């Protein structure tokens, strides 16, 4: 964890229950400004939120939290990459998302008070901003625009999971891989896609085997649709991938 010193004092102004400042406030404020759900907060509220948050570091492969853990905080990625996944009792894993700088995770459990519905693991050395559940809930009660932003974020999550469920049921594995490549390219606005995972990890994300991912990527390359660059994929023919995914 970065930052040290005495516990910040309660604010004499602003929002009751938030500290006025803290050793990590400047860095935390800059990070929070990049997170969509906090965009509607006034600057003084962001500063108060930053002062109430703490940075924590995780090594590659270290678990941030496990599926089934008590949801006592949400996190924002300051550096590194995270994997969000659900596991079966047999140990099978389905990767739901790969998160990068500015992404938030864990907010669902801070809202309903239930246990974690998925686990989060650091794919690379990572630094995260931890925001206590009590702080999140005070924000919800104090700022209606924050509550609205969280609602919209959760709606988007439900839509994404609905689409992913439909893909698992109705689209074959090569088609799901084509859709994943296009989705990653659309999210970054770049033709070069960083998969963020090993081929085994990509397989877990789209519900197939590593061999199928490997064979499909090389098939796409032979057709001239992509060029493989280790973990990166250069998309040469997005329209061809789109037609293939929607066939």
Residue 127 and residue 201 in one domain = no
Is residue 193 assigned to a domain? yes
Residue 195 and residue 237 in one domain = yes
Distance CA 68, CA 86 (A): 10
Residue 48 and residue 134 in one domain = yes
pLDDT digits 0-9 by tens, 43-87: 888 988 999 999 999 999 999 999 999 999 999 999 999 999 999
Residue 63 and residue 179 in one domain = no
Residue 157 and residue 35 in one domain = yes
Residue 104 and residue 135 in one domain = yes
Residue 108 and residue 79 in one domain = yes
Residue 5's pLDDT band, with cuts at 50, 70 and 90, is very low
Q: What is the CATH number of the domain that holds 186?
A: 1.10.10.10
Q: Which of 18-27, 93-102, 123-132, 188-197 has the lowest mean pLDDT?
A: 18-27
Residue of higher predicted confidence among 242 and 13: 242
Is residue 206 assigned to a domain? yes
Distance CA 64, CA 152 (A): 25
Give the total number of structural domains in the chain.
Answer: 2
Domain boundary among 126, 143, 164: 164
Residue 159 and residue 176 in one domain = no
Is residue 156 assigned to a domain? yes
Encode the chain in three state secondary structure.
CCCCCCCCCECCCCCCCCECCCCCHHHHHHHHCCCHHHCCCCHHHHHHHHHCCEEEEECCCCEEECCCCCCCEEEEEEECCEEEEEECCCCCEEEEEEECCCCEECHHHHHHCCCCCCEEEECCCEEEEEEEHHHHHHHHHHCHHHHHHHHHHHHHHHHHHHHHHHHHHHCCHHHHHHHHHHHHHHHHCCCEEECCCCHHHHHHHHCCCHHHHHHHHHHHHHCCCEEEECCEEEECCHHHHHHHHCC
Residue 148 and residue 188 in one domain = no
Q: How many CB atoms lie within 10 A of CB 99?
A: 22
Residue 59 and residue 139 in one domain = yes
Is residue 140 assigned to a domain? yes
Residue 126 and residue 69 in one domain = yes
Q: Among residues of the chain, what percentage have pLDDT more than 70?
A: 90
Range of the domain at 36: 25-164
Is residue 218 assigned to a domain? yes
pLDDT digits 0-9 by tens, 7-51: 333 333 334 444 444 446 889 999 998 898 998 889 888 988 999
Q: What is the CATH number of the domain that holds 29?
A: 2.60.120.10
Is residue 15 assigned to a domain? no
pLDDT digits 0-9 by tens, 185-240: 887 788 888 887 888 889 998 999 999 999 999 999 999 999 999 889 999 999 99
Is residue 14 assigned to a domain? no
Residue 31 and residue 84 in one domain = yes
Is residue 16 assigned to a domain? no
Domain boundary among 164, 199, 219: 164
């Amino acid at each position: 964890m970065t930052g040290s010193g005495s516990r910040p004092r309660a604010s004499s102004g602003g929002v009751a229950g938030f500290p006025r400042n803290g050793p990590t406030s400047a860095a935390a404020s800059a990070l929070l400004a990049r997170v969509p759900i906090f965009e509607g907060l006034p600057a003084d509220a962001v500063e108060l939120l930053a002062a109430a948050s703490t940075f924590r570091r995780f090594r590659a492969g270290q678990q941030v939290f496990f599926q089934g853990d008590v949801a006592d905080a949400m996190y924002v990625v300051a550096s590194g990459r995270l994997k969000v996944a659900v596991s079966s009792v047999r140990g099978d894993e389905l990767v739901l998302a790969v998160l990068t700088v500015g992404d938030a995770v864990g907010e669902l459990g801070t809202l309903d008070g239930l246990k974690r519905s998925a686990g989060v693991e650091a794919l690379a050395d990572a630094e995260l901003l931890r925001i206590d559940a009590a702080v999140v809930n005070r924000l919800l009660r104090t700022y209606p625009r924050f509550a609205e932003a969280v609602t919209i974020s959760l709606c988007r999550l439900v839509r994404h999971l609905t689409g992913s469920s439909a893909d698992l049921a109705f689209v074959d594995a090569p088609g799901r891989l084509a859709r994943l490549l296009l989705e990653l390219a659309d999210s970054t606005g770049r033709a070069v896609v960083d998969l963020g995972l090993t081929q085994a990890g990509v397989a877990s994300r789209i519900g197939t085997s590593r061999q199928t991912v490997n064979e499909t990527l090389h098939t796409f390359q032979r057709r001239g649709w992509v060029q493989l660059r280790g973990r990166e994929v250069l998309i040469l023919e997005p329209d061809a991938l789109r037609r293939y995914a929607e066939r």
